[in-house]
């Protein structure tokens, strides 16, 4: 599986605006990588996401998806089959009267044979923990369930790249956890390339890599713990340390460096375990 994205010197402004939304963006994503793109409102992260599946086409610069330049009109239909996108508001993505019909919607449009469609819908619903809700009305589901249905509708198309554009920002904590648990499971069990657009740095900690945008420019790029511990950069971009890093930095300031115990802490449970282990070592 290729699963790669290359962006080369991408600059973009909305017509009539006169100001760049994105300026000289260059980046490459490896196959199977989970990348979080973070930034304050207006930083350009959602605009960048629309270039990564061909919803927007560059005028200045190039975007290449799975070896296909998005400027080539002939490439665009295939790119959109290989890249699936889940947006912010699940209510805007659910179009059918039942969960099963909604998950099947994209397959019907793609002309997938009926028997194959049935099998793929059944398997994807099971994978996303939605079994038993096949005949339910999407409008009656919880926020987290709705977003999992939207995620199922994206995954049933068997994409190589999944883009989550603020996909948890309208959910309550339970709904956020439902969706993020599924994303983490996908990351463990598949070679899917995941691009997550988010302003939630606690979610970004779970990814392999974090890219920080400010006013349409990349100002940070690297492993989550390294990037999200950079106090000056976060302050400059109006972002706040994730809770876990805030605790770790506070303890480090008092002479207790949890990275000596575990240098890959990303969950609260791992934080608690590291504190307990450090206490035993004292």
pLDDT at 166: 92
Can you give the pLDDT at residue 165? 93
Per-residue pLDDT at 242: 87
CATH of residue 73:
3.40.50.300
Residue 65's domain comprises 5-241
Using one digit for the tens of pLDDT, what is the confidence trace for 19-40? 899 999 999 999 999 999 999 9
Same-domain pairing of 38 and 118? yes
Same domain, 37 and 145: yes
Same domain, 237 and 247: no
Burial of 149 (0-12, 13-18, 19+ CB in 10 A): buried
Shared domain for 246 and 236, answered yes or no, is: no
Q: Do 34 and 164 lie in a common domain?
A: yes
Same domain for 233 and 252, yes or no, is: no
Predicted confidence (pLDDT) at residue 11 exceeds the cutoff of 70: yes
Q: Domain count of the chain?
A: 2
Within this chain, do residues 218 and 281 fall inside the same structural domain, yes or no? no
- The pLDDT-based confidence of 196 (bands split at 50, 70, 90) is very high
Are 232 and 101 found together in one domain? Answer: yes
pTM value surpassing 0.75 = yes
Check whether 101 has a pLDDT greater than 60: yes
Q: Which of 4, 14, 23 lies closest to 218 in space, CA to CA?
A: 23
Are 234 and 249 members of one domain? no
Q: Are residues 155 and 192 in the same domain?
A: yes
Q: Clarify whether residues 190 and 250 are in a common domain.
A: no
Tens of pLDDT along 145-179? Answer: 999 999 999 999 999 999 999 999 888 889 888 98
Q: Give yes or no: residues 225 and 120 share one domain.
A: yes
């Amino acid at each position: 599986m290729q699963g790669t994205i290359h962006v080369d010197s991408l600059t973009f402004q909305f017509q009539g605006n006169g100001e760049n939304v994105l300026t000289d963006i260059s980046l490459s994503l490896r196959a199977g990588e989970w990348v979080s793109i973070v930034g304050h409102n207006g930083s350009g992260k959602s605009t960048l996401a629309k270039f990564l599946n061909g919803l927007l086409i560059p005028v200045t610069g190039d975007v290449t998806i799975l070896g296909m330049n998005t400027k080539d009109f002939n490439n665009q239909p295939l790119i959109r089959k290989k890249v699936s996108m889940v947006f912010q508001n699940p209510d805007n993505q659910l179009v059918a009267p039942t969960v099963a019909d909604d998950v099947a919607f994209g397959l019907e449009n793609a002309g997938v044979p009926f028997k194959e469609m049935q099998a793929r819908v059944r398997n994807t619903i099971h994978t996303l923990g939605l079994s038993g809700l096949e005949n339910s009305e999407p409008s009656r589901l919880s926020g987290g369930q709705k977003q999992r249905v939207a995620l199922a509708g994206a995954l049933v198309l068997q994409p190589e790249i999944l883009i989550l554009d603020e996909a948890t920002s309208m959910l309550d904590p339970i709904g956020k956890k439902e969706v993020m648990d599924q994303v983490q499971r996908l990351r463990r069990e598949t070679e899917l390339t995941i691009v997550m657009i988010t302003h939630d740095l606690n979610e970004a900690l779970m990814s392999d890599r974090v890219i920080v945008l400010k006013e349409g420019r990349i100002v940070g790029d690297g492993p989550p713990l390294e990037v999200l511990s950079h106090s000056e950069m976060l302050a400059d971009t109006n972002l706040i340390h994730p809770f876990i890093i805030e605790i770790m930095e506070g303890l480090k300031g008092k002479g207790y460096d949890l990275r000596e115990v575990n240098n890959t802490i990303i969950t609260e449970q791992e934080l608690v375990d590291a504190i307990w282990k450090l206490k035993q070592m004292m």
